[in-house]
Amino acid sequence: MNLEAIKSEIEANVPGCRLEMVDNPSPSGQHSLLLDAQHAAAVAVYLRDAADLRFDFCSNVTGIDWPGKELSQKVKVRKLVDGVEQEVDEVRTTTIPGSLEVVYHLYSVEKKHGPITLRLRTQDRDTGVHLPSLTPIWRSAELQEREIFDLFGVVFDGHPDLRRLLMWDDFQDHPMRRDYVDPDDYEYEPTAHDAVLQRANQHRSEEEGR
Amino acid sequence: MLSTKTGNQFELEPRISGVDESLKNELSKQGIFTTSLQELYNWGRTRSLWPLNFGLACCAIEMIATTMARYDLARFGAEVFRPSPRQADLMIVAGTVTKKMAPQVVRLYNQMPEPKYVISMGACAISGGPFKQGYNVLKGIDRYIPVDVYIPGCPPRPEALIDAFMELQKKIDAQPLTGTHRPRHLNADQPSEFVVPQFGQHDLEPTRNPAIWTPPLVQISQTGTDESGSN
Amino acid sequence: MSAAIHPAAPFHLEPMIEPGKEQLLEVSMGPQHPSTHGVFRMNVVLDGERVVRLKPVFGYLHRNHEKIAENETYLGSMPYTDRLDYMCPLTNNWAYALAVEQLAGIQVPERAEYLRVITGELTRLQNHACLIGFLLQDMGASGTPLMYAFRQREIILDLFEALTGARMMCNYMRFGGCRVDLPAGWLDQAKKVVADIPRFLDEYERLLVSNEILMDRTQDVGVLSHELAVSAGISGPMARASGVDYDIRKVDHYSIYDRFSFRVPLGSHGDVYDRFMVRVLEMRESVSILQQAMRDIPEGPIVDPKTKIRGFRPKPGEAYGRIEAPKGELGFYLVSDGSPNPYRYRVRPPSLVNLTVLEDLCLGRNVADIVVILGSIDIVMGEVDR
């Protein structure tokens, strides 16, 4: 089950697709293929139907949130300071945009091999969160993609029934994102510390001020 | 290990027969039994408490095990678990109450006819349990409905549920028919239906029922540090 | 894109209404219902007694397990895995331990593997017995098969309590082995229990397998085809009842299952009766595995002495580890960024994925059949909603 070989086979048979190998440094050795959103469905159909691959069992669909990062670098720049040109340290911040990632684990029931891991990434975390749905190809993605829509906010185009799965329909946030803030509902802790202690102090002053 | 709700100062009143003990014994030897209306009324209620078929999570499996052959709960009067709230006296909230489920729990409680009791089984129903950090977990069912007996444990053993059942029976036995401590179903001033929370955009609305539950204020030491040394 | 739609997965179904008979009733079954196996809700549209549409509603037991795990250490999530599929805590522990061992490259000593197999197969036994009991209770045999199943389950839970300290919620597996070794006399007691199980299974089968009412209500009900089962990601006894020859114990060769000879029962019709019979036969195979494992268990350490318990930080990377849990393929997907807490912790729940086809199986059937079909899928809401 050589991922390099599979990658070249897909590139040969699905014209125009752009694949990338994502290396997995852990001892599990499960490397993955990053697909581009435009050709993801075609690659998926090929993986499912090719005679030597026959990945007909989509086992797991996962969402991962990679929030954006700000990198600050100190750069030496020549600037005019008090009329004299000098080398001055300037801090330059570059923002790496975050993205939401969807990971598919595929197995083959016919050939009894696997797993092969596919990844899809959105452009960013605000408006560019559309990805093609692979539910028409593997029915098992139906409920799992709904869950990723509910908890992460990825919109799957082509999904037959995209609604929230686990939270109620009026709920507004996407709770599994890393920047989700829990609602404040008076959590009681007998030996409170850190954040819970701060909130308890706040509640106490509110109750006493009432 | 078990505790009944200490919100109002409920004192277990001694049973009143109104008849002298030796006279009672004499009469009973002749086949005449004397009792008070309160004893008789409560005896009938406690020995036939029918629970509602209401298991939410893992504690439900221990509740089912309590009704099975080894820890038979039926011998205490819980002969049948009724599927309909209209026919049940007791709601054993067994398992985590999530915010999505909370309105249904309160609606079911409202649909039960008086007299009705609630046993809060397991850490999750008492205060959210191991999942209290969760955004979807209600931190204790006593935020919306009044609870009579709490059973700690995760999950509590079937013997603990039987103990709680007996504790509830003792509590009901001691309820007087008249007076200020009379139970809710004989007291027209006390409500028996409670407000059902609605789904808001980020949380339930209201987050708690202020008439039933007020958040216990944390004991904050004078110096403002806790045992872990962090401030 | 339409060419890519799998022909056996028609999810844009036309409602089956005969013209002129449009008396549709929408009913919400659940979340509090005697037969929904926990807090599960189905919005059913009925034409008289026949099901026209069925949309399940999930989330009534969504306890944020995955979010909590991001704030806990790897070992701190182990007690939470007990509460996923709360009928089978030990296999949940095993799946999680396996995933972490794949992530960090930890080896498990021999004795620990045997202990895992013994506790795992005992769990499978009591899960299948209780499931059959619940299925029959939903069918109206109010209590008797369930009483028999729970009697046997209590005996097995006694063994678990003696070994791990808790009846349920055992929290027994660790990364690299098991938490505690067998107490004196446990193995002899377990051998006696396992020697007695075939008699219980004979009694159970005699009571149920040729029962006329059971056969009438379950044969040709809820037929799941082979193609739909594979496409919808169905795993476990439900898939094998449809003829899908896929048992992760045989395919992945995880743990030491290669040393035991056991058969994998397959069904041919894919109906509720086949799912019921596959589980009955799997219980017999579990007994066979248990007897072999308890005969061959070696002495030795139960956890790899070199594993780090305090300050366990696996290297950055990811791993997907899965086992054949009693309900199907239970998998854990872990993404590590080198810190003591996982970056992403995902549970692949067999019950949720098996529910994908609920509407397909129930369409055109009666309301009473919904109950039977749901019972045969074997769901536990702790796992569906996490």
More confident residue, C7 or C297: C297
What is the Cα–Cα distance from A163 to A167, expressed in whole angstroms? 10
Number of Cβ atoms within 10 Å of the Cβ of C229? 27
CA distance A103 to chain C (A): 10
Asked if A170 and B199 come within 8 Å (Cβ–Cβ), the reply is yes
Subunits with 3+ C-beta pairs closer than 8 A to C: A, B
CA distance C68 to chain B (A): 7
Position B217 scores a pLDDT of: 67
* Closest in C9, C102, C246 to A139, CB measured: C9
The answer to whether the CB of C115 falls within 8 A of the CB of C178 is yes
Q: For C81-126, what is each residue's pLDDT tens digit?
A: 999 999 999 999 999 999 999 999 889 999 999 999 999 999 999 9
Asked if C335 and A64 come within 8 Å (Cβ–Cβ), the reply is yes
A210 touches chain B (CB under 8 A): no
Position B6 scores a pLDDT of: 41
The answer to whether the CB of B216 falls within 8 A of the CB of A188 is yes
Cβ-Cβ contacts under 8 Å for A113 (sequence gap 6 or more): A1, A107
Q: Is the pLDDT of residue C10 over 50?
A: no
Residue C24 phi, psi dihedral angles, 5° rounding: -95, 140
Mutate to test the interface with A, among B104, B135, B205, B219 (most CBs of A within 10 A): B135
B202 touches chain A (CB under 8 A): yes
| DSSP, res C173 | E
| DSSP, res B123 | H
Question: By CB neighbour count within 10 A (0-12 exposed, 13-18 middle, 19+ buried), where does A9 fall?
Answer: middle
The answer to whether the CB of C325 falls within 8 A of the CB of C238 is no
Q: Is the pLDDT of residue C187 over 90?
A: yes
Q: Cis omega before residue C31 (within 30°)?
A: yes
Q: What is the mean pLDDT of residues A33-41?
A: 90
CA distance A199 to chain B (A): 10
By C-alpha distance, the chain B residue nearest C83 is: B58
Cα diameter, chain A: 77
CA distance A168 to chain B (A): 7
Question: Which residues make beta-bridge pairs with B98?
Answer: B137
Question: Which residues make beta-bridge pairs with B52?
Answer: B82, B91
The answer to whether the CB of A48 falls within 8 A of the CB of A41 is no
Q: For C118-148, what is each residue's pLDDT tens digit?
A: 999 999 999 999 999 999 988 888 778 899 9
What sign does the dihedral B129-B133-B137-B139 (CA atoms) show?
positive
CA distance C6 to chain B (A): 35
Asked if B135 and A193 come within 8 Å (Cβ–Cβ), the reply is no
- Chain B hits for C133, CB-CB cut-off 8 Å, are none
The answer to whether the CB of A137 falls within 8 A of the CB of C230 is no
Please give the structure tokens belonging to residue B19.
């008849």
A28 touches chain C (CB under 8 A): yes
Asked if C382 and B57 come within 8 Å (Cβ–Cβ), the reply is yes
| CA-to-CA dists, residue B231 to A186, A188, A192, B220, angstroms | 20, 18, 11, 11
Report residue C21's pLDDT band, with 50, 70 and 90 as the boundaries. low
Distance from CA of residue C27 to its chain's centroid? Answer: 28
CA distance B199 to chain A (A): 7
DSSP string, C349-381: -HHHHHGGGHHHHHTTSBHHHHHHHHHHH---H
Of C175, C188, C171, C205, the C-alpha closest to C86 is C171
Asked if B136 and C64 come within 8 Å (Cβ–Cβ), the reply is yes
What is the Cα–Cα distance from C369 to C42, expressed in whole angstroms? 14
Cβ-Cβ contacts under 8 Å for C118 (sequence gap 6 or more): C190, C290, C293, C294, C297
Subunits with 3+ C-beta pairs closer than 8 A to A: B, C
Mean pLDDT of chain C: 88
Give the CA angle between residues C358, C364, C365 to the nearest 5°.
75
Asked if B216 and A188 come within 8 Å (Cβ–Cβ), the reply is yes
Position B149 scores a pLDDT of: 94
Position B223 scores a pLDDT of: 52
The answer to whether the CB of A25 falls within 8 A of the CB of A108 is no
- Chain B hits for C79, CB-CB cut-off 8 Å, are 130
The answer to whether the CB of A58 falls within 8 A of the CB of A104 is yes
Q: In what helix (H) or strand (E) does residue A157 lie, and over which residues does it extend? A: strand A155-157
Asked if B199 and A171 come within 8 Å (Cβ–Cβ), the reply is yes
CA distance B140 to chain C (A): 13
Asked if B220 and A188 come within 8 Å (Cβ–Cβ), the reply is no
Q: For C305-345, what is each residue's pLDDT tens digit?
A: 888 777 888 899 999 999 999 999 999 999 999 899 999 99
Of C309, C213, C39, C216, the C-alpha closest to B104 is C39
Mutate to test the interface with A, among C42, C64, C353, C379 (most CBs of A within 10 A): C353
A193 touches chain B (CB under 8 A): yes
The answer to whether the CB of A138 falls within 8 A of the CB of C231 is yes
Q: Residue type for C147, please?
A: M
Q: For C351-378, what is each residue's pLDDT tens digit?
A: 999 999 999 999 989 988 999 999 999 8
By C-alpha distance, the chain B residue nearest C383 is: B57
What is the Cα–Cα distance from C320 to C313, expressed in whole angstroms? 17
Asked if C62 and A105 come within 8 Å (Cβ–Cβ), the reply is no
- Kindly give the interhelix angle for C144-164 and B58-67, rounded to the nearest 10 degrees: 120
DSSP string, A65-108: EE--EEEEEEEEEEEEETTEEEEEEEEEEEEEPPEEEEEEEEE-
Which regions of chain B are under pLDDT 50? 1-11, 222, 228-231
- Chain B hits for A178, CB-CB cut-off 8 Å, are none
Q: In what helix (H) or strand (E) does residue B128 lie, and over which residues does it extend? A: none
B83 touches chain C (CB under 8 A): yes
CA distance A206 to chain B (A): 11
- Chain C hits for A166, CB-CB cut-off 8 Å, are 58-59, 62, 385
What is the Cα–Cα distance from B65 to B55, expressed in whole angstroms? 12
B208 touches chain A (CB under 8 A): yes
Number of Cβ atoms within 10 Å of the Cβ of C103? 29
The answer to whether the CB of A72 falls within 8 A of the CB of A46 is no
Task: Using DSSP bridges, classify how beta strands C50-57 and B3-4 pair: parallel, antiparallel or unpaired.
Answer: unpaired
The answer to whether the CB of A193 falls within 8 A of the CB of A161 is no
Position C1 scores a pLDDT of: 32
- Chain A hits for C333, CB-CB cut-off 8 Å, are 60, 62, 103, 105
Asked if A203 and B215 come within 8 Å (Cβ–Cβ), the reply is yes
What is the Cα–Cα distance from A208 to A175, expressed in whole angstroms? 32
The answer to whether the CB of A141 falls within 8 A of the CB of A104 is yes
Asked if A59 and C318 come within 8 Å (Cβ–Cβ), the reply is no
Position C245 scores a pLDDT of: 92
* Closest in A28, A138, A165 to C231, CB measured: A138
Tokens 């055992």 locate to C170
The answer to whether the CB of B193 falls within 8 A of the CB of B110 is yes
Count of all residues that appear for chain A in the document: 210
The answer to whether the CB of A121 falls within 8 A of the CB of A34 is yes
Please give the structure tokens belonging to residue C116.
């895992």
Q: Which of B204-218, C64-78, C284-298, C308-322 has the lowest mean pLDDT?
A: B204-218
Cβ-Cβ contacts under 8 Å for A130 (sequence gap 6 or more): A37, A122, A154, A155, A156, A157
Asked if B201 and A203 come within 8 Å (Cβ–Cβ), the reply is no
ipTM: 0.88
Tokens 């248990």 locate to C290
What sign does the dihedral A70-A72-A78-A80 (CA atoms) show?
positive
Q: How far apart are the first and last CA of chain B?
A: 32
Report residue A75's pLDDT band, with 50, 70 and 90 as the boundaries. confident
Position B18 scores a pLDDT of: 60
Q: What is the CA radius of gyration of chain B?
A: 20
Of B36, B136, B140, the C-alpha closest to B95 is B140
B33 touches chain C (CB under 8 A): no
Mutate to test the interface with C, among A99, A140, A167 (most CBs of C within 10 A): A140
The answer to whether the CB of A40 falls within 8 A of the CB of A48 is no
Position B83 scores a pLDDT of: 86
Residue A141 phi, psi dihedral angles, 5° rounding: -75, -10
Question: Which residues make beta-bridge pairs with A86?
Answer: A79
A66 touches chain C (CB under 8 A): no
* Closest in B57, B104, B130 to C86, CB measured: B57
Asked if C63 and B131 come within 8 Å (Cβ–Cβ), the reply is yes
Of C154, C150, C277, C151, the C-alpha closest to C215 is C277
- Chain B hits for A186, CB-CB cut-off 8 Å, are 139, 207-208, 215
- Chain C hits for A45, CB-CB cut-off 8 Å, are 4
What is the Cα–Cα distance from A180 to B18, expressed in whole angstroms? 64
Cβ-Cβ contacts under 8 Å for C129 (sequence gap 6 or more): C148, C149, C152, C153, C204, C283
Position C20 scores a pLDDT of: 65
Residue numbers of B between 2 and 31 with CB closer than 8 Å to C? none
Give the CA angle between residues C371, C372, C373 to the nearest 5°.
95
Number of Cβ atoms within 10 Å of the Cβ of B173? 17
More confident residue, B5 or A63: A63
Asked if B134 and C67 come within 8 Å (Cβ–Cβ), the reply is yes
What is the Cα–Cα distance from B137 to B135, expressed in whole angstroms? 6
Residue numbers of B between 81 and 100 with CB closer than 8 Å to A? 100
Q: Cis omega before residue B103 (within 30°)?
A: no
Please give the structure tokens belonging to residue C3.
């060419």
Q: How far apart are the first and last CA of chain C?
A: 33
A70 touches chain B (CB under 8 A): no
The answer to whether the CB of C341 falls within 8 A of the CB of C67 is no
Could you give the percent of chain C with pLDDT greater than 70? 94
More confident residue, C15 or A83: A83
Asked if B218 and A193 come within 8 Å (Cβ–Cβ), the reply is no
By C-alpha distance, the chain C residue nearest A65 is: C344
Position C22 scores a pLDDT of: 64
Task: Using DSSP bridges, classify how beta strands A130-132 and A155-157 pair: parallel, antiparallel or unpaired.
Answer: parallel
Asked if C60 and B133 come within 8 Å (Cβ–Cβ), the reply is no
Position C49 scores a pLDDT of: 87
Q: For A134-171, what is each residue's pLDDT tens digit?
A: 999 999 999 999 999 999 999 999 998 888 899 988 88
| CA-to-CA dists, residue A48 to A111, A116, C293, angstroms | 12, 12, 38
Of C59, C78, C63, C60, the C-alpha closest to C334 is C78
